[in-house]
């Protein structure tokens, strides 16, 4: 099977710091790939390079076999790479429906199906409600509720539903459970698995080993700006993974 998304020899320097040092990366179709690594290992820089938030100094990235290079995350999103950051790009004062359709608003149609310069609110609300229901998020009662009135888990839910709703080819989640309590984290983990069951592959950046080991199909261990190894969580313990990422243990035989 070919990876849906892969990168070869990615390099990114910030002045004298080499954040990505000839880094390779592979995401297989339909999988949940966790990316783990110590603080400063270069995980965020890797996903920023993939999603167009930073421009790599070297290397190549391919999506569905086609070479890509995005000037911004908005461009990446148009091509199907959706990133949900820890600090979510949502407008707190706007409603759930408005946030879900931000930048992709539905317009009313007039005579002969011509689009008018008027938002089709009922259609947006209906579609938003359907998407949230599909993802088991209808504990949210009112689609017109402002996002600022939601809990952290519900906000993550809206962000992931937004990503899943628009035909994303890949969803990148950056520390989705970091700011959440136990119950909320559980919801988000269930949702991640639900998104996977829809065939959408996920890149999950997380420091939370139990969460990583619970949902990941494979784990990319990142160390000193590059991929140290990729492990199957069924074959290793959490302490092995931490030992690989901190350098306390050498990478398993046969890995790069």
Ligand X SMILES: Nc1ncnc2c1ncn2[C@@H]1O[C@H](COP(=O)(O)OP(=O)(O)OP(=O)(O)O)[C@@H](O)[C@H]1O
CB contact at 8 A, 81 and 169: yes
Contact residue for ligand X among 3, 23, 45, 185 (CB under 6 A): 45
**Other residues' Cβ atoms within 10 Å of the Cβ of residue 142:** 12
| Residue 40 sits in the site that holds ligand X (CB under 6 A) | yes
Report the C-alpha gap between 189 and 41 in whole angstroms.
Answer: 24
Contact residue for ligand X among 42, 80, 157, 176 (CB under 6 A): 42
Residue 50 or residue 137: which is nearer to ligand X going by CB? Answer: 50
**Other residues' Cβ atoms within 10 Å of the Cβ of residue 3:** 18
| Residue 55 sits in the site that holds ligand X (CB under 6 A) | no
Least Cα distance to 34 among 196, 177, 221 occurs for: 221
Report the C-alpha gap between 2 and 249 in whole angstroms.
Answer: 30
Contact residue for ligand X among 4, 5, 7, 19 (CB under 6 A): 19
Contact residue for ligand X among 36, 44, 147, 236 (CB under 6 A): 44
| Beta sheet of 202-205, edge-to-edge order | 81-84, 170-174, 202-205, 32-37, 218-223, 226-231
Q: Which residues contact 228 (CB under 8 A, 6 or more apart)?
A: 221, 222, 244, 245, 251, 255, 256
Looking at 1-9, 38-46, 132-140, 247-255, which segment touches ligand X (CB under 6 A)?
38-46
Residue 127 or residue 224: which is nearer to ligand X going by CB? Answer: 224
Residue 37 or residue 153: which is nearer to ligand X going by CB? Answer: 37
Q: C-beta of 76: minimal distance to ligand X in Å?
A: 17
Q: Which residues contact 125 (CB under 8 A, 6 or more apart)?
A: 97, 143, 144
Q: C-beta of 163: minimal distance to ligand X in Å?
A: 20
Helix axes 152-165, 121-134, angle to 10 degrees: 110
Residue 45 or residue 156: which is nearer to ligand X going by CB? Answer: 45
Residue 35 or residue 147: which is nearer to ligand X going by CB? Answer: 35
Q: C-beta of 29: minimal distance to ligand X in Å?
A: 25
| Residue 17 sits in the site that holds ligand X (CB under 6 A) | yes
Contact residue for ligand X among 31, 34, 36, 37 (CB under 6 A): 37
Residue 99 or residue 206: which is nearer to ligand X going by CB? Answer: 206
| Residue 14 sits in the site that holds ligand X (CB under 6 A) | yes
Please report, to the nearest 10 degrees, the dihedral formed by the alpha carbons of residues 41, 161, 103, 77 taken in order.
40
Residues in touch with ligand X (CB under 6 A): 14, 17, 19, 37, 39-45
């Amino acid at each position: 099977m070919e990876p849906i998304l892969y990168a070869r020899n990615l390099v990114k320097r910030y002045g004298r710091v080499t954040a990505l040092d000839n880094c390779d990366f592979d995401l297989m179709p339909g999988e949940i790939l966790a990316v783990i690594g110590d603080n400063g290992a270069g995980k965020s820089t890797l996903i920023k390079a993939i999603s167009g938030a930073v421009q790599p100094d070297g290397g190549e990235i391919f999506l569905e076999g086609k070479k890509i290079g995005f000037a911004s995350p908005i461009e990446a999103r148009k091509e199907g790479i959706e990133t949900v950051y820890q600090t979510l790009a949502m407008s707190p004062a706007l409603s759930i429906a408005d946030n879900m359709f931000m930048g992709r608003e539905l317009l009313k149609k007039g005579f002969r199906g011509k689009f008018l310069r008027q938002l089709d609110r009922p259609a947006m609300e209906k579609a938003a409600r359907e998407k949230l229901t599909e993802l088991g998020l209808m504990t949210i009662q009112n689609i017109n509720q402002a996002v600022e009135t939601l809990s952290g888990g519900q906000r993550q839910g809206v962000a992931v539903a937004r990503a899943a709703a628009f035909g994303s080819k890949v969803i990148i989640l950056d520390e989705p459970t970091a700011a959440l309590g136990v119950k909320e984290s559980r919801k988000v983990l269930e949702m991640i698995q639900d998104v996977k069951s829809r065939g959408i592959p996920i890149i999950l950046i997380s420091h939370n080993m139990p969460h990583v080991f619970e949902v990941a199909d494979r784990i990319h261990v990142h160390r000193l700006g590059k991929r140290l190894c990729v492990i199957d969580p069924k074959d290793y313990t959490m302490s092995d993974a931490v030992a690989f990422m901190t350098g306390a243990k050498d990478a398993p035989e046969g890995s790069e």
